[in-house]
Amino acid sequence: MGTLPIAIGWGAGAESRRPLGLAVVGGLAFSQIITLYVTPVVYTYLDALQQRFGRRAPRSVTEPAAAD
């Protein structure tokens, strides 16, 4: 929130500080979106892939019955 006044930029020298403020505010907003939305979706997909292609429990092998 401290960079918001720089991003809005009023007064003397605002033209030179505004791009820096916009870059910082935009980067913070983008990282929040990545953290809150994209990361859980990626973990959900990875969990689904692990369940589909991950290690499976070994099947029990039954011995054939001896012939009489």
User: Residue 68's pLDDT is what?
Assistant: 64
Per-residue pLDDT at 58: 67
| pLDDT at residue 57 in the model | 65
Cβ proximity of 39 and 30 under 8 Å: no
Confidence (pLDDT) at 8? 80
Successive 10-residue mean pLDDT values, the chain, 68 residues: 76 83 90 92 93 76 73
Q: In this predicted structure, what is the pLDDT of residue 32?
A: 93
Write a three-state SS string for the chain: CCCHHHHHCCCCCHHHHHHHHHHHHHHHHHHHHHHHHHHHHHHHHHHHHHHHHCCCCCCCCCCCCCCC
